[in-house]
Amino acid sequence: MSAAIEDVVTESPGVIEAVPKRAMTLGTGTSLVMLGLLLLTPLFVKNFIIFQMTMLLIYGVAVLALNILTGGSGQFSLGQSAFYAVGAYTSAILMEHAGMNYALTLPIAGIICFAFGFLFGQPALRLSGVYLALATFALATAMPQLLKLGYFEQWTGGVQGLVVTKPDPPEAVQSMLSWLHLKMSQDMWLYYFTLVITIAIYIFSVNLLRSRSGRAFMAIRDNEIAASAMGVDVALYKTLAFGVSAGITGVAGGLGAITVQFVAPDSYTITLAISLFLGMVVGGVGWLPGSIVGSAFIIFVPNIAEGISKGLSGAVFGVLLFLVIFLVPHGARQVAIVGQQLIGRFRKN
Amino acid sequence: MRSEELRVAALAAAVIVFTSGTALAQKKYDAGATDTEIKIGNIMPYSGPASAYGVIGKTEQAYFNKVNAEGGINGRKINFVSYDDGYSPPKAVEQARKLVESDEVLLVFNPLGTPSNSAIQKYLNAKKVPQLFVATGATKWNDPKNFPWTMGWQPSYQSEAHIYAKYLLKEKPDGKIAILFQNDDFGKDYLKGLKDALGAKASMIAAEESYEATEPSVDNHIVRLKASGADVFISITTPKFAAQAIKKLAEIDWKPLHIVSNVSISVGGVIKPAGFENAQGMLSAAYAKDGADPQWDNDPGMKKFYAFLAKYYPDANKLDASVVYGYGAAQTMVKVLEMCGDNLTRDNVMKQAASLKDFAPDTLLPGIKINTSATDFAPIKQLQMMRFKGEKWDLFGDIISGELSE
């Protein structure tokens, strides 16, 4: 046993700062306000905004998954787009070829991605820090090409991709609303459907990190040697973190496929993986509520950059990103902490 | 009291007559069109892997500026709203929804890329918003039955492939063909076109090799194709690989009849780097004039094009085929809007786009005309063969239609 552990114990890169587990979540009051906003806003905005909010939640879930991996267990990944793609394709193929209900495809996408992530975690165990990042990077670059392979083409649709049918709100909801003379659009239904799943995943993640397993993840993140000395099975928990992260990313991918109504290899390139990584850093590594802030950053800031200059949108985006990293290196978490202190001081006065 | 009632009645009658009179003038609008403005949406990869094509969007913007400066279309100015999708399909969906639901455009014009257009096609058709003149050569855009709100513009890859097959069947019926194609929608569409048009003679194909767009070089594929003993080489390649193929052919001293796809005919971008001496006698087909070719210097259409560039888009590179492309597509759009008159509904836009008769934008080759109908959503179907000689392409033969039914 000791030999096996020695193999997998690697020097901690020391890049990720230890985040105490209390600091990983929001207070009850703030959570309720957030929830209220997420519940009520769609009633007053256009379908297009609802669609953007749905994407915000979906990318938020994907960033959260990466946050569990990096913020929780201290492992880097630039390969989340691959898991996202597998989830998206699983949902799309099950819906379009097997005629399965969209809601049922999500747990399947999650399980397949969990298995995929767990298996990928095995060889990746021997790597740490930048080497692990590079190995996952390879996964992300390989994925679009694997999806194009002629061998799978009858299911994946090859380069042409697959068009997914958008689900209608279920009959029960429709008839209940018709009592109140209301009608629910597909977009709104999908938003609330996504919101329920997002909240479920968020609660699961918070509890996971507060549990024994979560403590094991964090012990590994902070000091692998100490963790293994305390009897934490480093190999198991490292691969488990990979599996959970991949599984959640897969669910996000499935939701993304249903919302966008289309999957194609070009949707899941390395750019997506880097965006998710970016979202995590901007939101604050290891701070779960920051995931939604990070997700907002990767969805809206490119649009803002484009609004400022069409030709130089990439450069403007770069400048904005640089400013964020320079001014608030710990991302949204830092802003939240400063905000909290200000409110505290205000109350004392 | 009584007279007052009468007066009111008379006034009411007058109002009714008056308003019905204006109704007879038939000004009909859908979202995006008013008495003073027509709002047109567009999606382009200004960033990301295909950002070189962003020039098309800029050219179109410049062209609409010109139209507006000259008084607009039937008195209405064009408001061109163009967004960046970075060649990513999910982003294209977001931008298309923004255009339709937030900006409320009349139509989406010339969105670029097969993956992006595939992603937004179902949405736009469900919303009944015209997806006009999409900037991709895939064959599937000509499907008025299933997608009555989507229309292509340029000749499809398949119709171009038909033209080469027709040429080979006539000029080299005993040839053995070797094909190199890119393993994506572009390459496969092409290959299908070739096989369809060769029909019973598909056995002429002696060898086919596919390559990935991410491969550094296609050299070993070409060596293998030479080994098949073929005397015709069809290169369904994008510019970088087309240039590699031309060079490699010379290196290994293989001299088949060399046909290169229209996407890689750029003299400056492909043939010059590969060496003029290696490209002599090479064949291809074209539908647009080459902005760098001096033979068009006195062509009235191209004179207009050069004048437009000088005034409205001075920093454009006239060697770039995308500039010529954007100009032609924008001109077709303006033509359709002119035909719509005061009836600017989405329904009528599609109806007018599907009734173009012998329209010839300034930048198309002489004799090539745009024709559409309710059952034909492929505006440009004709090309002309050309041979590379000296330092430029020489057109030869007739304008050929890529349609198979003939």
Q: What are phi and psi of A174, to 5 degrees?
A: -60, -45
List the CATH code of the domain at A3-348. 1.10.3470
What band does A335 get if pLDDT is binned at 50, 70 and 90?
A: confident
- Across the beta sheet with B37-44, the strand order is B77-84, B37-44, B107-109, B131-132
ipTM higher than threshold 0.90: no
Least confident of A19-23, A205-209, A244-248, B59-63: A19-23
What are the chain A neighbours of B127 within 8 Å (beta carbons)?
none
In this complex, how many residue pairs, one in chain A and one in chain B, have their CB atoms less than 8 Å apart?
86
Q: Which residues of B touch A (CB under 8 A)?
A: 46-48, 54, 58, 82-84, 86-90, 93-94, 97-98, 100-102, 114-115, 118-119, 121-123, 183-185, 188, 212, 214
Is domain B158-286+386-401 given the CATH code 3.40.640.10 in the classification?
Answer: no
> Under an 8 A CB cutoff, do B118 and A262 touch?
yes
Q: Which residue of A has its CA nearest to B82?
A: A310
Angle between the A270-283 and A290-308 helix axes, to the nearest 10 degrees?
120
Q: Which residues contact A52 (CB under 8 A, 6 or more apart)?
A: A299, B94
Distance separating alpha carbons of residues B225 and B202, to the nearest angstrom = 17
Whether pLDDT at A66 is above 60: yes
Q: Domain limits of chain B?
A: 37-155+307-375, 158-286+386-401
DSSP letter (8 states) at residue B363: T
| Tens-place pLDDT, residues B178-207 | 999 988 788 888 999 999 999 888 889 999
Q: What is the pTM of this model?
A: 0.81
| Tens-place pLDDT, residues A235-292 | 899 999 999 999 999 999 999 999 999 998 888 989 899 999 999 999 988 888 899 9
Q: Which residue of B has its CA nearest to A264?
A: B115
Cβ-nearest to B115 among A52, A266, A314: A266
Give whole-number Cα distances, A19 to A22, A70, A222, A328, B115, in Å.
8, 11, 9, 16, 42
CATH architecture of the domain with residue range B37-155+307-375: 3-Layer(aba) Sandwich (3.40)
Distance separating alpha carbons of residues B388 and B44, to the nearest angstrom = 32
Q: Return the pLDDT at A10.
A: 45
Q: Which residues of A touch B (CB under 8 A)?
A: 46-49, 51-52, 55, 145, 148, 150, 158-161, 163, 256, 260-262, 264, 266-267, 269, 271-272, 299, 302, 306, 310-311, 313-314
| Tens-place pLDDT, residues B104-152 | 999 999 999 888 999 999 999 999 999 999 999 888 899 999 999 999 9
Q: Quick count: other Cβ atoms within 10 Å of Cβ A126?
A: 13
Same fold, B37-155+307-375 and B158-286+386-401: yes
Give whole-number Cα distances, B63 to A276, B303, B319, B323, B331, in Å.
38, 15, 18, 10, 8
- In the structure encoding, which two tokens stand for residue B177, read together? 């063909």
Q: Domain limits of chain A?
A: 3-348
